[in-house]
Amino acid sequence: MRNWGAPPELTPAQQHVFLRRCPLCPGTGRVSASGLTWDYRVRPTSISREYQIRIELHRSDTPRVFVIEPDISVLANGRKIPHVYRDLIHLCLFLPRANEWAPTMRIDQTFEPWTGVRLYYFEEWLASGQWKGGGQHVPAARNRRQRRAAAR
């Protein structure tokens, strides 16, 4: 049931329109009945490497962000990468129980900038060995999709 005082959830099609119009993450994407996929490139700083990113959004779920290239596991050279979910390596960008993201929010104004910041701190971690990006990591089994699957 809809909360009549709250803004409506954005559909994958609406998110796709916002992403297409965003000058910070020019890329390509597709919308289907089940959700959205958006591919783009990002360079956290002018001296950083370029990353190929994929954002996936399944209807009524939280977006997931994957680094397609380069392989960040290879860059980590055997070290445990901070703030990623290891089930299919994707970035941990926010604390779910803190309500930092909701389906009423735009991906181009949240996940896209969060991705650039997280990759900046990833590169700093590669160089220094210390994670300076803050945050808390939630174990993969706590994400919404896995909780729903376990409850079935």
Distance (Å, whole) CA 63 – CA 36 = 9
Please write down the long-range contacts of 76-81, taking CB distance under 8 Å and 24 or more positions apart: 76/126, 79/129, 81/122
Encode the chain (152 residues) as per-residue pLDDT tens digits.
556 777 888 999 999 999 999 988 899 999 998 899 999 999 999 999 999 999 999 987 899 999 999 999 999 998 998 888 876 788 988 877 788 888 999 999 999 999 999 999 999 999 999 998 887 765 555 455 554 444 44
Q: How far apart are CA 152 and CA 148, in angstroms?
A: 7
